[in-house]
Structure 1
Amino acid sequence: MADVDDSDIKILEMLRKNARTPFTMIAKELKISEAAVRKRVEKLIRLGVIKRFTIDYELENEIKAIVMVKTNPQIPTPEISKKIIKIPGVEAVYETTGDYDVLALVRGMNIISINKTIDDIRSLQGVISTNSTIVLRVWY
C-alpha cells in the first residue's frame, strides 16, 4: 500500500505484540508525537489495514489444535471457510496453498471439545478430509 510507510509498519509491529501499548510509548520509540501516532492509527483503521483489536489468551489446561482441511473443488473455498469460522471452538481460519485448502485453529478445554469441533468441520458439505495436530507450545 502506498499510504503505509516504515513508521506505520513499526506501529503495526508494536501493536501486534501488544494492542494495549500506549501511544505515548510508541511515540517515544519512533521519536514522533503522541498525536502523530494517534493519527497514523486512525488512518490505518480507515484504510482497513487494522481490521480489529483483539486479545490473545491462554487458559490453564486449554488445548489448541490445527486442523488442515481438504475441500471439494466444486464448492468455492471461501464458502467453506465462512462456515468453518462460525463453528464453536474455531478461533481462526486461513485459506492456504498446498495439499490442504484451509487451516483452522481450534481451541477447547479438553480433547472431547476438540473432537466435537473437528467432527463439526468434517460434517460440512464440501469438506473432503481433515488432518489434525495438537499444539504443544506457542511462541510470540
Structure 2
Amino acid sequence: MVEIDQNDIKILEILRKNSRTSYTSIARELKISEAAARKRIERLIKAGIIKRFTIDYELDNEIRAIVMVKTAPQIPTPEISKKIVKISGVETVYETTGDYDILALVRGNNISAINKTIDEIRSLQGVLSTTSTIVLRVWF
C-alpha cells in the first residue's frame, strides 16, 4: 500500500479539477520541482490511486439523470454493476449503502434516450426496482 501525504492529496485535487494541468503548474503550486511532481503522479498511477484521466462535459441540449437501483440479494451487486456500466448512456456507476444498492449517472440527448437506458437497467436480472431523478444543474 502506498502512503499518501498532503502533497499527494493536493495533486489529486488539482487533477480532479483539471486533469490537463501541467506538471510545471502542479510543481509551482506545491513548491516542488517538476521532476518531483511527475514522479508523484507516476507513483499514484502505478498504485492504482489515479485510475484514469478524463473530462467532464456538458452539452446544451443534454439531459442527465440519477438512477437509484435496488437489487435482489441472490445476485451479487458487483455483478449487476458491471452490467449496468456497459449500457449505452450510463456514465458512472456507484455501489452504495442505504435503501439503494447502486447509483448510476445517465446521459442522453432527450427524455426518450434516458428512458431507454433506464428500461435497459430495469431489464437486468437481479434489478428489483429503480428510482430516477433528472439533474437540473451541474456545478464543478
Q: Same fold (TM over 0.5)?
A: yes
Matched, 1:88 2:85: no
Q: Within 5 A, what are the aligned runs for 1:1-140?
A: 2-140=2-140
Q: TM-score, normalised by structure 2?
A: 0.98
Structure 1 segments unaligned to the other structure (5+ residues): none
Cα distance between partner residues in 2 of 1:85 and 1:127:
14
1:66 CA drift (Å): 0.1
Using the size of structure 1 for normalisation, the TM-score is 0.98
Distance 1:49 1:62 in 2: 30
* Residue pair 2:2, 2:47 contacting (<8 A) in 1 also: no
- 2:65, 2:135 within 8 Å by CA — same for their partners in 1? yes
Deviation at 1:123, TM superposition (A): 0.2
Equivalent residue of 1:114, what SS? helix
Instruction: Give distance in 2, aligned partners of 1:38 and 1:128.
Output: 46
Aligned length: 140
Secondary structure of the structure 1 residue equivalent to 2:130: strand
Structure 2 residue runs of 5 or longer lacking an equivalent are none
Two-structure CA RMSD over aligned residues (Å) = 0.8
Moved over 3 A (4+): none
